[in-house]
A and B are shown apart, each in its own frame.
Chain A
């Protein structure tokens, strides 16, 4: 009986989140699709044609998995950070705090919203990429699991950002100054084998590099790093951030006085 009530509460949160980003699809779904299409045209077709193949693949084929994952990362993060901060700002998070829902159900509800948007945008970008190239599929399981785990990880990041945010400026600082540089330097546009040794070592400290390479392996079957290493890193980060998010929600950090 209780678990059914929690299931209904979870479904309600997920439905609310999906409706939220679907209602404003012009702001949430369309822009990343257009931006990524521009990447395909400029870097893939116009510039990419002049470049040699990387690990046996045309440049456009090499960068498409990274661009798909980049859109998943930024949208999963953006969905949770804006939705949860909005609910704090307008106080309607109280609707959930007063209800008989455990913190973990609330957290999973918001994360699922981020995953839904991340995967929706990822799917839309993948479809658009088919206009420019015919992407091979080496291992569907790796593609799907890595997309899912990445969207969970960055939804958690967005949640923690929203908990600490005290103004709308605070929810743009991390995406602009941390997430975007790490994503661009995470090997979307190049293989780290092309970098000088010192930069290669520095790049290995970037967790996004592991995600992009594992995701690329799912499509192309090539990667700069080991697949198991990538799964271990993403699962470790998810465990730590999930536990921390749950702690923040339980003590009511930024929510309760």
Chain B
């Protein structure tokens, strides 16, 4: 399968001396829904900025669907739609004009563009607001406007930098559904987000970047398989005085309060044995949930491991 993004040894040091990227390699397959995660200041936005021609690279090579960003910049840019983290449209322009103008910058005009604009604004719930000045939109609407604008030229690659930041959960879910459909129709999507649940739900492949280095670059499934254990929170039917002693299962039990237990079980261990042991101990379970997002645990552990390794190298020098 061909690559939507091919990054080789990409390096960037800012004027102040901050080294944002230390020679990263990154590949995103065509048609993928790809998550680029990392803590604040890790290098995500710099990577996206370079891909979108908003940041100058120092060294390395970036190609978009085989078009080198330096040798064929126009062909490479034509493939990309960008939804940045910050609102970057003229607040004093009407919604429809912002989207139509963006098409114009890609050399597109006429009735086909107007029709596509209508479809996008309708799908994103902005059609009724098309003549409103952008500054009058709510935060969620402004984010959706940026998505419509990024898609107006039907890009093969859509890059979303924190697209759901500050968006309420209902709207976030409708945006997920919209993006899944865009991806299903063949658009490659690269997503950065602080909501790790979002990345786990939407993305097939993932890279974790920290301190300008790639800490992990694999499939979401392979990454989640690295987890050795998970913690379940059990809400109980009746109060208990002390944590029960569970016979025949390998797990840790912590009593949170009279109605709540936290049970840590190792991966691969079936839950039937756990429930049987709980029943034998006279504990009836009302409901159950994961204590924390699985990806979040992995993310934190990978970032910590990476930093520890860096410290080791630093001390060695």
Contact = CB atoms under 8 A, between A and B. Distances in A.
- Name the prevailing secondary structure of the B interface residues: loop
Interface size class of B (residues with CB under 8 A): 20 to 34
B108 A8 contact: yes
Nearest to A87: B90
- Name the prevailing secondary structure of the A interface residues: helix
Contacts of A176: none
Contact of B54 (A11, A20, A98): A98
Interface string B1-19: 0000000000000110000
A102 B74 contact: yes
A94 interface: yes
A231 interface: no
Contacts of A23: 92
Contacts of A92: 88-90
A11 B101 CA distance: 10
B53 A5 contact: no
A6 B105 CA distance: 8
Interface in B79-102: 80, 82, 84, 86-93, 97, 101-102
Interface string B51-72: 0111110000000000000000
A2 to B, nearest CB: 8
B107 A98 contact: no
B104 A100 contact: no
Contact of B107 (A8, A20, A95): A8
A49 interface: no
Interface string A1-23: 01011101101110110011001
Given A91-B86, A100-B75, A256-B56, A5 B15 contact: no
B78 A100 contact: yes
B86 A95 contact: no
A106 to B, nearest CB: 9
B82 A98 contact: yes
B257 interface: no
A222 interface: no
A8 B109 contact: yes
A45 interface: no
Contacts of A134: none
A185 to B, nearest CB: 36
A11 B75 contact: no
Interface in A73-102: 86-87, 90-92, 94-102
Contacts of A31: none
A94 B88 contact: yes
B27 interface: no
B77 interface: yes
A12 B90 CA distance: 14
B270 to A, nearest CB: 51
Q: Which 4 interchain pairs have the tightest Cβ spacing?
A: A5-B107, A12-B104, A99-B105, A91-B88
26 contacts: A8-B104, A8-B107, A11-B104, A15-B104, A86-B90, A90-B88, A90-B89, A90-B90, A91-B87, A92-B88, A92-B90, A94-B52, A94-B84, A95-B88, A95-B89, A95-B102, A97-B54, A98-B53, A98-B54, A98-B80, A99-B77, A99-B106, A100-B78, A100-B107, A256-B54, A257-B55
Given A8-B107, A256-B53, 20 more contacts: A5-B106, A8-B104, A8-B109, A9-B106, A9-B107, A11-B109, A12-B105, A13-B105, A15-B101, A16-B93, A16-B97, A19-B97, A94-B54, A94-B84, A95-B105, A97-B54, A98-B82, A99-B77, A100-B77, A256-B54
Interface of B: 14-15, 49, 52-56, 73-75, 77-78, 80, 82, 84, 86-93, 97, 101-102, 104-109, 149
Interface of A: 2, 4-6, 8-9, 11-13, 15-16, 19-20, 23, 86-87, 90-92, 94-102, 251-252, 256-257
